[in-house]
Structure 1
Amino acid sequence: MGAFVISKKHNDEYKFVYTSRKGKIVFSSKSYELKMYCEEDIEIIKANAADAQCIKFKASNGAFFYKLMIGEKEYAKSRKFNTELRLAKGIAEVALYVSKAEVLDFSGAPVFVD
């Protein structure tokens, strides 16, 4: 099972990534000014994972990616995949595992301190 990982960016905004069981980033969110909005969107994605649309795109360099949409709103953008088969596997993972994913919050104190 994968996990949603919340982090704080250098500009004090929040974002989340969804990581696969192997620890690879599957998709990333936009930036959020407040952590509660980030958490709310994670819950929306988890609750609606079965109905989410993954709209496929091809980048100018030939890589494939998708945008995770629920209704008319874009919630996240996937990492780049080098083949359509890997893109399809990434999309399949959304339907299978996202609704059961745990949420890890690393937005507070530094995890690794000298």
Structure 2
Amino acid sequence: MGKFEIVKRKNGEFQFNLKAGNGQVVLTSEGYTTKANCQNGLDSVKKNAKDDAHYERKEAANKKYYFNLKATNGQIIGTSQMYESEAGREKGIESVKKNAPESTVADLSIEI
């Protein structure tokens, strides 16, 4: 089973990553100024992940493939890694659909 990890960037912003069961990052958020906003984005991913209509399939200038997951309002709430093939990108989308709704959340942003 996958899991979300909330991390704090060096610039002080919060971001989350969705990792598949094998530990590979399949979706990354933008940077958020507050942890609460980061959590809201994460919750939106959980809510929208199952609906294929929320996935925007893209091809980068370097001919690699990726996708964005969008909220109901059209805002991007997560971006995938780069894939060598369209088939790889589709597997990534399937991984997000399967893992995101039920994934646990690990908050790694806590400072000790």
TM-score by length of 1: 0.90
Runs (4+) of structure 1 exceeding 2 A deviation are none
Query: Residue 19 of structure 2 contacts residue 25 of structure 2 at CA under 8 Å; is this kept in 1?
Result: yes
Greater radius of gyration (CA): 1
Partner of 2:96: 94
Deviations 1:31-89 (A, max 9, x none): 00000110111112212322261111111111100011122111011100011111110
The separation in 1 between residues aligned to 2:81 and 2:90, in whole angstroms, is 12
- Corresponding position: 1:107 with 2:91: no
Q: How many residue pairs end up in the alignment?
A: 110
Distance in 1 (CA, whole Å) between partners of 2:97 and 2:10 is: 32
Residue 37 (structure 2) aligns with: 37
- CA-atom RMSD, angstroms? 1.2
The code of the aligned residue for 2:71 comes to I
- Any stretches of 5+ residues in structure 2 without a counterpart? none
Q: How does 1:61-80 map to 2 (within 5 A)?
A: 61-71=62-72, 72-80=74-82
